[in-house]
Amino acid sequence: MGTGKKKGASAGRRSVNVVTLGCSKNLVDSERVLKMLSDAGFDAWHQTDRPTDIVVVNTCGFIGDAKEESVNTILEFCSAKQDGRIRELYVMGCLSERYRDELKSEIPEVDRFYGKYDWTGLVDDLLARDREEELTYGRRITTPSHHAYLKISEGCDRFCAFCAIPLITGRHHSRPVEEILEETRRLAASGVKEINVIAQDLSSYGKDLYGSLSLGRLIDSMADVEGIERIRLHYAYPAEFPRDILEVMRRRPNVCSYLDIALQHISDNVLTKMRRHITAAETRALLDEIRREVPGIHLRTTLMVGFPGETEEDFLQLMDFVREQRFERMGAFAYCEEEGTFAARNLPDEIPADVKQDRLGRLMALQEEISLEIQQEKVGKTFKVIIDSEEEDYFVGRTEYDSPEVDPEVLVKKTLPLRAGDIVEVRITDALPFELIGTPVESTGENDGPANAGDDGQNAKP
């Protein structure tokens, strides 16, 4: 990316390619960088193949594979710099937050390293100037123009035994409600219809600023912003869960009946070793409450296998839990020791890699069966689908139960002229484990809504 001969940049303007690795929270930071660079007079691009003078790599440092990808990407651009295909290389984000000194020593070709928060000085350093005013939370959206991510807090106070996030991001700190609402209004004014609310820990939102859990109040206010038709929640924590969000989700039609809540495990033995601050019984009670309070909700969770001390019996409890709960969306990964964490310091990683992979394979095979069954239950029903893109034979869209990039898509037959950002009623005709196929439901008259809207209760809040 951005490593060819120089041509195509505007005359007299320096050009920058911002390369994003890792999660959607990193993407938001990259979007802020792009806006800052553009406002400062740079030709700023995201993940471009066109040649640029400067490259900024926004790194991920969460797990081993992500760290390896980040290092390899940096080295790729170091090679481009040595060959004269780019002039300057900067690195920011989670990896350089955690390993800045080591990276400086081992990769001296990088012009400067920034961390998770001090990257705001990048433009000032590039222009050799001091910032004249405080930065706003302006962004240049890189996602399709009808949906965007919105980060409401940074950091985490949970300190789970396996997780390096608090070591990278620091303690939890929330953005003020009014600042978030102002950003929501700006996004809506730019044409964004769908907002995916993200944080390392949604559940703790507001506790540091207002003395109480405030996610429900925030989302209720965001739902009032004209033009926002979908709000979806990512990365809640099960302990100290903000239960008032359930009433908001049930009452507000533009708050999706969807929740991403990482549970990690169900065995009390493993949960205790993980320092998750919740028991199996409390987990089940919370899930029962969520499904009771928000009928039809789709839950996405993440589970871990092979954590130190996990026995075969613990793993079988996890399998039974997945059968019992029938999560609509589920991801899983095998434990990998992260240096500096409680587990790395205190719990030997003694489970063999082949055992971890066997357990992971069995768990995901079970989930694929469940996913297919849940998908097949949707055949014959009608859902509101937001169109994301157009392929040769069909449009690609998502229901309110589908987050971009991680959840199933709906392949919509081309029986109506549609564009990205349109929301259309689609009757599902076929199902695969991770895709639905459907046909748009045509309007019955000039002032009528789509035929069969709300079929089977799918399009209205109870």
What is the model's pLDDT at position 122?
Answer: 84
What is the model's pLDDT at position 279?
Answer: 98
* 431, two tokens: 């199902």
Compute the distance between CA of residue 410 and CA of residue 388 in angstroms, rounded to an integer: 10
pLDDT at 162 over 90: yes
pLDDT level of residue 8 (50, 70, 90 thresholds): very low
- State the number of CA atoms in the 13 A half-sphere of 192 facing the CB: 23
pLDDT at 129 over 80: no
* 133, two tokens: 């005013």
What's the rounded mean pLDDT across residues 351-368? Answer: 97
What is the model's pLDDT at position 134?
Answer: 52
Compute the distance between CA of residue 30 and CA of residue 36 in angstroms, rounded to an integer: 10
What's the rounded mean pLDDT across residues 384-402? Answer: 96
What is the model's pLDDT at position 13?
Answer: 81
Compute the distance between CA of residue 222 and CA of residue 228 in angstroms, rounded to an integer: 8
For the stretch 243-296, pLDDT in tens is 999 999 999 999 999 999 999 999 999 999 999 999 999 999 999 999 999 999
423-432/382-390 β-pairing: antiparallel
* 170, two tokens: 């620091």
What's the rounded mean pLDDT across residues 57-67? Answer: 85
What's the rounded mean pLDDT across residues 357-386? Answer: 97
